[in-house]
Amino acid sequence: MKPVVALVGRPNVGKSTLFNRITRARNALVDDFPGVTRDRHYADAVWNDVGFTVVDTGGFLLADDDSFAVEIREHVELAIIEADIIVFVLDGRTGISPFDRDLADRLRRSLKPVFYIVNKIENKRQEHDILEFYHLGIEKFYPVSAEHGLGMASFLDDLVNGFPESEPESDRENSDEICIAVAGRPNVGKSSLINRLFGEKRVVVSEKPGTTRDSIDLVVEHNGTRFRLIDTAGIRRKGKVKEKIEKFSILKSLKSLDNCDVALILIDADDGITDQDITIAGYAHDRGCGALFLLNKWDLLSSEKKDQKEYIKELKIKAKFLSYAPALTISALTGLRTHKILNMVESIYEEFSYRINTGLLNRIIGDAIFRSEPSLHKGKRLRFYYATQVSVRPPTIVCFVNYPEAVHFSYKRYLVNQIREMAELGKTPIRLYFRERTGKIDFSSRAVTKGWYVEKKEKKTVKRKKERKEQSRRKRFRDNKSIDKGKI
C-alpha cells in the first residue's frame, strides 16, 4: 500500500495550494476524462519515482463552519491514526498563532513522523523572519512557497526518504485468489454486505502477516475459487469517528483499492447517486482495478421507483469513466441478488487478468487506424509501429508511435474501445500507453490492414540487406586476395 501523507494546519495557510503543487505532476495519461470534476481531497503523487497518496485535510472542513478549531483537532487525531506521515503547514506571513502551538504540541506527542512546512516564503528577508518558528520546539522546518514552487524539491526529497519501509507486496502474479475491496460512503451497507458474503461459517478470519495495525482480511471459497476481502478493519472500525469527518475516514476503505483486483462500489439506491459515490468510483478508476457497482437497499425502493434500467442508465452517465463496470441492484439486508456478486466478480477478474495475443492486438489496432486515421500533428502524420501487452491486472498495452504526445485523448479512448470490443474485454479497465519509437515498421497508412505482415516483410528486408552486405564483404575479401596473389 502506498504511504499516506496528510496535510494539516489552520485554514488559509496554503494546504490546498500545496496539495495541488505536490499532486500536479500526476501522469495525465491516466486521466482519460479531463471534464470530470472530482472532489479531490486525496490524490496520488510521485517524487523520485516513489509513489504516495496525499490527503488535504482542509478539504474536509465544512465551508460554513467558523469554529474550525475543534474540527481541525479532530482531523489531526484522525491523521495520526490513518496517515503514515503528517505534514504540518504553517503560514510564514502571519507567524505563529496559539492554535499552531497547540497542534505542534499534540503532534510532538504522537509517534508519527511529522514534517513542518513554513509556507509563503518568497524572499530572503522572509526567510530571516521565520526563525521564530523554532519557538514551536521543532528541529527542522522547510521554508517553501507552494504558490511559486520554491523550496519544494528539498522538502519532497526528504519526505519520500522518510517513508516507512513498505510492506512486501504479495506475489500477485501467481496468486490464485481474487482480492476484493468494498468501498462506499458511510452507511451504504458495507458491513452488512460483508456479513452477507463472508459471514457465518464460511469465513476464515486471517490476520495478514507482517501488516501494520489492525488490517484484517476475510477469506471465503466459492465454487472452488478463493476470494479475499481486504482491509475490512477500516470499515468495521466506524462509530469511533464523528459523522462530520466520516468523509475523511473513507480514506481507509479507499486505500484498500490499491491492493484489490475488483472493487465493490456500494451505493445507497434509496439515497440516489451522490457526488461522493462518483468520487469513490473515480478513485477505483484511478487505481485501475476492476469494479462492480452495487446499488444496495433495493428492498427500500417503492415499486414505482424501482426502475432498474433507469437507475443504471443514470449511473452510467454520472460515472462515465467507469463504463466497463457492471452494475447490480441488491439488498444486503434481505439477500436479494447477493448470490450473483461473487460470480460477477469472477468474470470481471477473468478479463482483468487476460492476455491478448500480440498478433491479434496489432491487427485490432491496425484495423482501427485504417477505419479512422488520427488527425495530423503539426502537419505531420502520426505513425503507429507496434503494440504489445506488457502486463495483466489490468491489461496494460504499450503502443510505439513516432510522436507519443500527439495522440489525442479522444483518439486513445477510441483505440481502447476498439480493443475492448474486438477482444471482448467489456468488464475490465484497459491501460494504453504510447511510447516513442523511430523505426521503419509502420502499420498505419496504406498498408494498414496488413499491419503485422508489413512488420514481417520489413524483417525479411533487413535480413536480405544483411546477407547482401555479407556477400559483398566476402567478394571484396576474395578480390583483395587475388590482388595480393597478383603481387606475388
Nearest CA among 241, 288, 234, 296 for reference residue 265: 296
Rounded to 5 degrees, what are φ and ψ at 89?
-100, 125
Q: For the CB of residue 274, give the shortest distance to ligand GDP in the complex, in Å.
A: 13
Near ligand GDP by CB under 6 A, which window of 124-132, 133-141, 186-194, 394-402? 186-194
Distance between the two ends of the chain, CA-based, in angstroms?
Answer: 78
Q: For the CB of residue 143, give the shortest distance to ligand GDP in the complex, in Å.
A: 10
On whether the CB atoms of residues 357 and 397 are closer than 8 A, the answer is no
Q: Contact with ligand GDP (CB under 6 A): which of 300, 301, 398, 406?
A: 300
Residue 216 engages ligand GDP in binding (rule: CB under 6 A):
no
Q: For the CB of residue 271, give the shortest distance to ligand GDP in the complex, in Å.
A: 11
Residue 220 engages ligand GDP in binding (rule: CB under 6 A):
no
310/308 Cα distance (integer angstroms): 6
Q: Contact with ligand GDP (CB under 6 A): which of 1, 5, 6, 13?
A: 13
Rounded to 5 degrees, what are φ and ψ at 164?
-65, 155
Q: For the CB of residue 14, give the shortest distance to ligand GDP in the complex, in Å.
A: 3
Near ligand GDP by CB under 6 A, which window of 6-14, 62-70, 218-226, 430-438? 6-14
Q: Contact with ligand GDP (CB under 6 A): which of 8, 16, 393, 441?
A: 16
41/279 Cα distance (integer angstroms): 10
Residue 184 engages ligand GDP in binding (rule: CB under 6 A):
yes
Burial 23-57, CB ≥16 within 10 A → b, else e: beeeeeeeebeeeeebebbbbbbbbeeeebbbbbb
Say which DSSP state 164 is in.
P
Q: For the CB of residue 347, give the shortest distance to ligand GDP in the complex, in Å.
A: 23
Q: Contact with ligand GDP (CB under 6 A): which of 41, 75, 190, 420?
A: 190
The residue among 31 and 147 lying less far from ligand GDP, judged by its C-beta, is 147
| Cα separations in angstroms, 137 against 3, 101, 108, 126 | 26, 9, 9, 20
Residue 297 engages ligand GDP in binding (rule: CB under 6 A):
yes
The residue among 253 and 259 lying less far from ligand GDP, judged by its C-beta, is 253
The residue among 297 and 363 lying less far from ligand GDP, judged by its C-beta, is 297
Binding marks (x or -) toward ligand GDP, 103..122, rule CB under 6 A?
----------------xx--
On whether the CB atoms of residues 284 and 253 are closer than 8 A, the answer is no
Q: Contact with ligand GDP (CB under 6 A): which of 1, 4, 41, 58?
A: 58
- Give Cα 447 distance to the centre of its chain: 37
On whether the CB atoms of residues 254 and 173 are closer than 8 A, the answer is no
Residue 393 engages ligand GDP in binding (rule: CB under 6 A):
no
Pairing verdict, β 204-207 and 4-8 = unpaired
Residue 338 engages ligand GDP in binding (rule: CB under 6 A):
no
Binding marks (x or -) toward ligand GDP, 256..295, rule CB under 6 A?
----------------------------------------
Residues 233-252 that bind ligand GDP (CB under 6 A): 235, 238
Sign of the dihedral defined by the CA atoms of residues 25, 27, 32, 36, in that order: negative
The residue among 148 and 440 lying less far from ligand GDP, judged by its C-beta, is 148
What the block records as the C-alpha cell of 46 is: 510521485
Near ligand GDP by CB under 6 A, which window of 99-107, 297-305, 312-320, 424-432? 297-305
400/223 Cα distance (integer angstroms): 41
Residue 11 engages ligand GDP in binding (rule: CB under 6 A):
yes
Say which DSSP state 279 is in.
H
Near ligand GDP by CB under 6 A, which window of 13-21, 63-71, 372-380, 465-473? 13-21
122/182 Cα distance (integer angstroms): 45
In sequence order, the 6+-apart residues with CB closer than 8 A to the CB of 389 are 355, 356, 358, 361, 395, 396, 397
Near ligand GDP by CB under 6 A, which window of 188-196, 302-310, 375-383, 390-398? 188-196
Residue 145 engages ligand GDP in binding (rule: CB under 6 A):
yes
Rounded to 5 degrees, what are φ and ψ at 304?
-75, -25
Say which DSSP state 382 is in.
-
Residue 333 engages ligand GDP in binding (rule: CB under 6 A):
yes
Q: Which positions touch ligand GDP (CB under 6 A)?
A: 9, 11-17, 58, 119-120, 145-147, 184, 186-192, 235, 238, 296-297, 299-300, 331-333
